[in-house]
Amino acid sequence: MTNTQKLGRNDLMSLEQYSEARDGFRNEVMEHKRNRRVHLGTNAALYFEDRLTMQYQVQEMLRIERIFEAAGINEELDAYNPLIPDGANWKATFMVEFPDEDERRVMLRQLIGIEDRVYMQVDGHERVYPIADEDMDRSDEAKTSAVHFLRFELDENQVAALKEGAALAAGIDHDNYKVEISPLAEIVRCALLKDLT
């Protein structure tokens, strides 16, 4: 079972099974997510998704909504499967995080387009900027959203370099928010490498 395989109904627990397994499964997923989070300065972060994080998301949605019929389950799978990487890309939830509501409102107006200026960079290669919010627009002329979904497409040379041990960096080069984390921690690099087949 790879990190890139899409989820089917037979990969999910019933509501009853999930209720019994939830605490242990949640702990496993939280531990897994820890090495897939990249803080970009104090007010932004990338949360890299994969099969396990999406399985957890689907199970939680089924539980909250009390969905047990096939059509409803398929609807959730259709919503979350696109966020599982395809083997030559990373898919991430990008969060702009300002705890104070007034500051957040001001900053979301100043950070229009930030989702297009997030990047990943394999050492020795060009920066990879994301394809943002493929499912729907989350920005307009007035402000950006605090949450975006990003897809970073890598070419064969970048994937090969990473597999040979090349360092990985991440950053944002928006006029009003500039940060680079270089290199990313090895434990994060190794976790993200598992998304590339």
Residue 85 falls within a domain, yes or no?
yes
Please give the pLDDT value at position 1.
60
Q: What was the pLDDT predicted at 101? A: 92
Q: Which helix (H) or strand (E) holds 43?
A: none
Per-residue DSSP letter, 140: -
State the virtual CA torsion across 77, 78, 82, 85 in degrees, nearest 10. 30
Q: What is the CA radius of gyration of the chain?
A: 18
Q: What integer pLDDT is reported at residue 197 of this predicted model?
A: 83
pLDDT for residue 23: 96
Would residue 4 count as lying in a domain? no
Residue 132 dihedral angles phi and psi, to the nearest 5°: -105, 140
Burial grade of 148 (CB within 10 A; 0-12, 13-18, 19 or more): buried
- Quote the number of domains for the chain: 1
Please report whether residue 2 resides in a domain.
Answer: no
The candidate with the shortest Cα–Cα distance to 38, out of 2, 86, 85, 90, is: 90
Residue 49 lies inside a defined structural domain of this protein: yes
* Residue 186 within any structural domain of the chain: yes
pLDDT given for residue 2 in this prediction: 67
Omega cis (within 30) before 183: yes
Owning domain of residue 74:
9-193
For each of the chain's 197 residues, which pLDDT tens digit applies?
667 699 999 999 999 999 999 999 999 999 999 999 999 999 999 999 999 999 999 999 999 999 999 999 999 999 899 999 999 999 999 999 999 999 999 999 999 999 999 999 999 999 999 999 877 676 767 899 999 999 999 999 999 999 999 999 999 999 999 999 999 999 999 999 999 98
pLDDT value, residue 90: 97
Judge whether 76 lies within some domain: yes
With CA atoms as reference, report the closest residue to 154 among 197, 94, 186.
197
Estimate the share of the chain in helix, then strand, then coil, as percent rounded to the nearest 5.
Answer: 40, 25, 35
The answer to whether residue 127 sits within a structural domain is yes
Query: Has residue 3 been placed in a domain?
Result: no
Residues paired with residue 168 on neighbouring β-strands, in sequence order = 122
